[in-house]
Amino acid sequence: MSVDMTPLVGLLGHLRPAISSWAAEGAPRMRISEVRLGPPVPAPRQIIAVGANYAGHMNEVSSSQPSPSRPVLFAKSPGSVVGPNDDIIRPPETRLLDYEAELAVVIGTGGRRVRYSDAMAHVAGFMIANDVTARDVVLEDQAKHPLFLQVLRGKGYDSFCPTGPWLVTPDDSADPHDMGLRLWVNGELRQDDTTAHMTYDVESLIESISASIRLFPGDIILTGTPAGVGMAMKPPRSLTAGDVVRIAIDSLGTMSTNVKDEDDPTAATLWEKRQQTDSFANRASHPGLAPMEPRDPSAPRRRWFPRT
């Protein structure tokens, strides 16, 4: 039986003493191997994702990029959420399936125009997320016009947001400003970085997002991915059926997902009908733009908007 814990996320601070007491008194236990771990927040109202938040990732996908003046935001379908060991289902519309290991922030207390200094009080906890992306779906028409970018479509398929394995409260987690983050595909290390290199930290993201978008308990913020995505490899490498993607973040645990093809008898027909473009692998650098510099962990964080 699955239980939707989303309504309880905003009450974790009040419920924690009772939960701790219940566990100490011998609450029923079961083997993890005998149950399915569902997503910690199975039905978020919103998934707000952040792009271009690691200079390393920006520079690997294009040698010349400007630095964003504020966090770059996009939405991800709440229906894409699955658990930490559930399968990633590759739909027939893509042949360029990619991974993005990310620190996920779960909102506990909602609000609007949250100040930087108050932001962490609005956080229920942290978890691991994989912002799975069908690169060819996102980029297939961008060569025709920049407005034809299909971010929501290419990132919104069922199973494209594995999360877990736990929701770790801030008092039990490592410093979110310096968590090691690693991703492996079939045992090969692909991504290895730290959240210290995020251009905008957790507080800045909450401050910036809530300036325009009201946050609600259970909302998930995906904080961006570092360098090492398959799209940027030479030649590009994509996920295929049978691949195993494992992600670990300091103090948050590890999650492992298998890639499977969607069981759809029309898959071949769908693929044959699609007009493909290799624009993702042959991007022209904008003239006159300097590469982003990786953030110096010892330097002050960039603020998206000056506040006194």
Domains of the chain by residue range: 37-227+238-265
pLDDT of residue 163: 99
Angle at 237 between CA 231 and CA 238, to 5 degrees: 90
**Arch. (CATH architecture) of 37-227+238-265:** Alpha-Beta Complex (3.90)
Reported confidence tier of residue 302, pLDDT bands at 50, 70, 90: low
Q: Residues 207, 100, 132, CA angle at the centre, nearest 5°?
A: 105
Nearest to 264 by CA among 158, 140, 141: 158
Counting residues of the chain whose pLDDT is more than 90, the rounded percentage is 65
Select the highest-mean-pLDDT range: 30-34, 138-142, 218-222.
218-222
Give mean pLDDT, residues 188-207: 97
Length in residues, the chain: 308
Residue 72 confidence (pLDDT) above 50: yes
Rg (CA), the chain: 19
Taking only the tens place, the pLDDT of each residue in 154-174 is 999 999 999 999 999 999 999
Query: 31-40, pLDDT tens digit by residue?
Result: 888 889 999 9
Can you give the pLDDT at residue 13? 73
3-state DSSP assignment of residue 183: strand
Measured between its terminal Cα atoms, the distance across the chain in Å is 49
Q: Is pLDDT of 282 > 60? A: no
Task: Please indicate whether residue 167 or residue 266 has the higher confidence score (pLDDT).
Answer: 167
Spatial distance between the Cα atoms of 261 and 8, rounded to a whole number of angstroms:
34
| pTM across the whole model | 0.86
